Amino acid sequence: MMLSIGKIKVMPPILLAPMAGISDLPFRQINRSFGCGLAFTEMISTSALSYKSKNTLKMLSTAADDRPLGIQLLGENTEAIKRSLDNISEYPFDIIDFNAACPASKVASHGKGAGLLREPEKLQKILKLIVENTDVPVTVKIRSGWDAASVNAVDLALRAQDAGVSGLFIHGRTKMQGYSGTVDCNIIREVKQALEIPVIASGDALAPDLIKKLFDNTGCDGVAIARGALGNPWIFRETAEYLKSGTIPSRPDVHEIAQTMKEHLALNIAFCGEKYGVIRFRKFFAWYTRGMAIKDLKGRAFRAVTGDKMMRLIDEIQLSAVSEHQ
């Protein structure tokens, strides 16, 4: 199984989806170390990017081991989008993805993200503009529609294909569903059957067996993993093996989890500086330790402000596991 987007080849066809406030360089590097073959920056506002906001430019950071890499853009103003394309032209992005799927009210209510699901013609024009002003493959992410009464994913997808995009991501929920309920595999399958370009399914890709079901039930060309990778970079290793052999490898033991946490923390500190790197790691500490009976450690982790303190808390996770088995 291989996913091809322009000249980009991804095998197995599973990739790391962009997540706002999460998909920074350290997060991508950790997931790549377990087999992630394609990743994206977090969602970037074209309004902020067009004016070269310092914080936004930081979000564009990459490294030699962070390839291939896509950037995901969010916006609706064509002038800001044009300026943004100019501003990223010197960056080594391999794919430009346009977000027409974000369900957050503060985004959609301003005609951005999922707000564009209600304006198919405008979305098509934006995509055509991007395709005509870049040399790299362009993709778009959509949802099944605004709500259950206006499911228009097939029309949106065909318009995107006509605009010249090289691939399409579809989350099988409506904007109004957000992340509730279950993914509608039928609409993803309908989109796949209607298009000639690759279709990447998104939503509920939380474990290897669920990812395999997405492939089987939709006929999609690839699957984008988002929430399934939070504190769980092993999902790439496990899913690759499951797609190949039908066997899911053993889950990582506490020692591998702790070692990965330390590596992620070190990358965070190198990228953000000690104080902010530790603060930013707090939520990852919680994700890595889901299901562990370490409530006290989690509370202390959310108060930690130094790298040494956080490292010692990670060591305590291993000690707690040893104590439980004695």
Please check the confidence at residue 318 and state whether its pLDDT lies above 90.
Answer: no
Return mean pLDDT, the chain: 96
Euclidean distance between CA atoms 282 and 220, whole angstroms: 35
CATH of the domain at 85: 3.20.20.70
Among the three residues 204, 221, 245, which one is the final residue of a domain in this structure? Answer: 245
Confidence (pLDDT) at 322: 54
Same structural domain, 235 and 268: no
Same structural domain, 239 and 263: no
CATH of the domain at 313: 1.10.1200
Euclidean distance between CA atoms 106 and 137, whole angstroms: 29
Neighbours of 249 (CB within 10 A): 14
Please check the confidence at residue 326 and state whether its pLDDT lies above 50.
Answer: no
Among the three residues 200, 217, 245, which one is the final residue of a domain in this structure? Answer: 245
Q: Indicate the pairing of strand 138-145 with strand 95-100.
A: parallel
Confidence (pLDDT) at 170: 98
Same structural domain, 240 and 263: no
Query: What residue numbers bound the domain in which 265 lies?
Result: 254-324
Same structural domain, 180 and 237: yes
Of 102, 185, 220, 272, which is the active-site residue?
102
Same structural domain, 234 and 259: no
Q: What digits encode the pLDDT tens for the residues 142-167?
A: 999 999 999 999 999 999 999 999 99
Q: What is the mean pLDDT of residues 188-195?
A: 98
Neighbours of 247 (CB within 10 A): 9
Name the percent of the chain lying above pLDDT 70: 98
Q: In the annotation, is 102 catalytic?
A: yes
**In sequence order, what are the residues at sequence separation of 6 or more whose Cβ sits closer than 8 angstroms to the Cβ of residue 143?**
100, 101, 103, 114, 117, 153, 170, 171, 172, 173, 174, 175
Q: Which residue has the higher pLDDT, 323 or 120?
A: 120
Please check the confidence at residue 55 and state whether its pLDDT lies above 60.
Answer: yes
| Res. 52 pLDDT band, cuts 50 70 90 | very high
Query: Does pTM surpass 0.85?
Result: yes
Confidence (pLDDT) at 1: 84
Q: What digits encode the pLDDT tens for the residues 238-275?
A: 999 999 999 988 999 999 999 999 999 999 999 999 99
Q: Tokens 């609409």 belong to which residue? A: 187
Confidence (pLDDT) at 325: 46
Same structural domain, 232 and 292: no
| Res. 321 pLDDT band, cuts 50 70 90 | low
Confidence (pLDDT) at 142: 98
Q: What digits encode the pLDDT tens for the residues 71-120?
A: 999 999 999 999 999 999 999 999 999 999 999 999 999 999 999 999 99
Neighbours of 138 (CB within 10 A): 26
The one-character DSSP state at 181 is S
- Partnered with residue 183 across adjacent β-strands are none
Q: What digits encode the pLDDT tens for the residues 302-313?
A: 999 999 999 999
Euclidean distance between CA atoms 150 and 148, whole angstroms: 6
Same structural domain, 169 and 304: no
Q: How many domains does the chain have?
A: 2
Same structural domain, 186 and 320: no
Q: What digits encode the pLDDT tens for the residues 202-241?
A: 999 999 999 999 999 999 999 999 999 999 999 999 999 9
Euclidean distance between CA atoms 116 and 143, whole angstroms: 10
Among the three residues 186, 221, 245, which one is the final residue of a domain in this structure? Answer: 245
Same structural domain, 90 and 239: yes
| Contact predicate 14/223, CB 8 Å | yes
Please check the confidence at residue 293 and state whether its pLDDT lies above 50.
Answer: yes
Euclidean distance between CA atoms 259 and 257, whole angstroms: 6
Please check the confidence at residue 323 and state whether its pLDDT lies above 60.
Answer: no
Classify residue 221 as exposed, middle or buried by CB count within 10 Å of its CB (0-12, 13-18, 19+). Answer: buried
Same structural domain, 239 and 270: no
Please check the confidence at residue 324 and state whether its pLDDT lies above 80.
Answer: no
Same structural domain, 100 and 193: yes
Same structural domain, 168 and 298: no
Using only C-alpha atoms, the chain has a radius of gyration, in whole angstroms, of 20
Q: Indicate the pairing of strand 138-145 with strand 14-16.
A: unpaired
Neighbours of 293 (CB within 10 A): 10
